[in-house]
Amino acid sequence: GAQIVWFRRDLRVHDHPALTAAAEAGDVLPVFVVDPAFEDAGVPRTAALRTALAALHRATDGALIVRSGRPEQVIPALAAEVGTDAVHVSGETTPGGRRRDARVEAALDVPFVATGTPYAVSPGRVRKRDGEPFRVFTPFSKAWLEHGWRAPAELPAGTRWVRRAEGEPLPEPPETSAELGWASEEGALERWHGFLDDAIDDYDTARDRADLDGTSRLSIALKLGAVHPRTLLADLDRVAPSRSAAAQRSLKRYQTELAWREFYADVLLHHPRSAWRDYGDQLRGIAYDEPGELFDAWCEGRTGFPFVDAGMRQLLAEGWMHNRVRMVTASFLTKDLHVWWPHGARHFLRHLADGDLASNNHGWQWTAGTGTDAAPYFRVFNPVLQGQRFDPDGDYVRRWVPELRHIAGAAVHEPWRVPDGAAHGYPERIVDHKAEREEALARLAAVKR
């Protein structure tokens, strides 16, 4: 009988352990379920998903079928229809994904076979000597590296796809200005090979510069599983011996960033509540303000702080934001506007094409000071100094904030010092950073007392 492969966060055919397992067992019927739970994913993420699906449809020679509905109804119905021997999936480790899979497995009368996960090392595998999960990144990453991972899985030559006449067409991507070229498997691999050929050698120094294209931009592909991190890790090992010592530091650095992604997935598995609540209790009882007009100004990139506004506008325009600017904008919301991080995290998830519960919500907590390796709460980013340092010529700000394009060079970070700085309608600063920093520290002191 046919082997169903139910695709979820694994929209690719290369290095796909579950697909390999299915292909070794028989003919493969690839299916994707448009789950009503996706409805709140936001336009950029939905568009990215559909771009990756179209590519998967091509990669399976048009065999991929799409059905809409609740997976616990759709998958068992399809299994009965085709008389399948088994339903294969990549293992899921998020709280919602695990609950969904348990419902589907319970509704099936054939085996539900999970092979691999969207991570190089399955979340839950890496533990402290006493068996407890890690609570801090650096020791986790050492243990993760020691644990190691398997080589990429080969799809057996001659994999046979089951072809079915199906009514439901592939869902079209919605209209969006988000950058989606790297959301498909072929686009992601092309981007990765280009990045690996030259740009990665400077990654260690360029990655923090908001004005440069110094990062891989593979977060969307990793989110959708258009590429498996193991593929990337194997390539890093392969090219390392031929690179300079400085370049090898960059390769190592890239590996460490992938480890952050794996760490946060591990944290979410062990502490599902940390998705929307403070992971640590270091700020228990601290006073926050309800999101109001200032929050709206932050969402729309009208805070009057150029580096913050550039980031928030890049998010709305591209469905992506540079990591350094994610930290600065998140810090601004929590420390300058005193708004609890879940409000900001929700806004990010709605607009990021790479929006990922584990990485986003723990990244927010890191910045807010409630997370695992939380930056100490009293360390408050200065949005102007951050801009001057990580966008030294102001190019990033001018790219995203057209009202400031008349200001040359780094002066763009302080338009209030430029005589005609607001000539094109750029807003005044909505808060006084120095005063709000003091306010944040006073609120901290109140709970520490």
Distance between CA 185 and CA 52 in Å, rounded? 7
Q: Judged by CB, which is closer to ligand FAD: 84, or 361? A: 361
Minimal distance, residue 315 CB to ligand FAD, in Å: 10
CB of 124 to ligand FAD, least distance (A): 17
Cα gap 214→202, rounded to integer Å: 7
Which residues make up the interface to ligand FAD (CB under 6 A)? 207, 215-219, 222-223, 257-258, 260-261, 264, 323, 326-327, 330, 348, 352, 354-356, 359-360, 363-364, 367
Nearer to ligand FAD, 186 or 373 (CB): 373
Q: Which is nearer to ligand FAD, 42 or 355 (CB)?
A: 355
Q: How far is the CB of 427 from ligand FAD (least distance, A)?
A: 23
Report in angstroms how near the CB of residue 259 gets to ligand FAD at its nearest. Answer: 8
CB atoms within 10 A of CB 75: 26
Whichever of 104 and 259 has its CB closer to ligand FAD, that residue is 259
Shortest separation between residue 172's beta carbon and ligand FAD, angstroms: 24
Nearest Cα residue to 415 out of 383, 376, 439: 383
In the complex, what is the shortest distance from the CB of residue 11 to ligand FAD, in angstroms, rounded to a whole number? 15
What is the number of other CB atoms lying within 10 angstroms of the CB of residue 14? 18
Q: Which is nearer to ligand FAD, 381 or 426 (CB)?
A: 381
Measured from the CB atom, the residue of 84 and 359 that comes closer to ligand FAD is 359
Q: How far is the CB of 330 from ligand FAD (least distance, A)?
A: 4
For ligand FAD, the closer CB: 100 or 223 = 223
Q: How far is the CB of 233 from ligand FAD (least distance, A)?
A: 11
Residue placing its CB nearer to ligand FAD in the complex, 326 or 443: 326
Nearest to 45 by CA among 364, 359, 362, 355: 355
What's the min distance (Å) between Cβ of 407 and ligand FAD? 27
Nearer to ligand FAD, 115 or 323 (CB): 323
Burial of 285 (0-12, 13-18, 19+ CB in 10 A): exposed
- Give the chain as a 3 state SS string: CCEEEEECCCCCCCCCHHHHHHHHHCCEEEEEEECHHHHHHCHHHHHHHHHHHHHHHHHCCCCCEEEECCHHHHHHHHHHHHCCCEEEECCCCCHHHHHHHHHHHHHCCCCEEECCCCCCCCCCCCCCCCCCCCCCHHHHHHHHHHHCCCCCCCCCCCCCECCCCCCCCCCCCCCCCCCCCCCCHHHHHHHHHHHHHCHHHHHHHHCCCCCCCCCCCCHHHHHHCCCCHHHHHHHHHHHHHHCCHHHHHHHHHHHHHHHHHHHHHHHHHHCHHHHCCCCCCCCCCCCCECCCHHHHHHHHCCCCCHHHHHHHHHHHHHCCCCHHHHHHHHHHHHHHCCECHHHHHHHHHHHCCCCCHHHHHHHHHHHHCCCCCCCCCCCCCCHHHHHHHHCCCCHHHHHHCHHHCCCCHHHHHCHHHCCCCCCCCCCCCCCCHHHHHHHHHHHHHHHHC
Rank residues 186 and 208 by Cβ distance to ligand FAD and give the closer one. 208
Q: Helices 185-197 and 229-239: crossing angle, nearest 10°?
A: 20
Cite the annotated binding site for FAD by residue number: 203, 215-219, 254, 257-264, 354-356
Least Å from the CB of residue 359 to ligand FAD: 4
Residues at the annotated binding site? 203, 215-219, 254, 257-264, 354-356
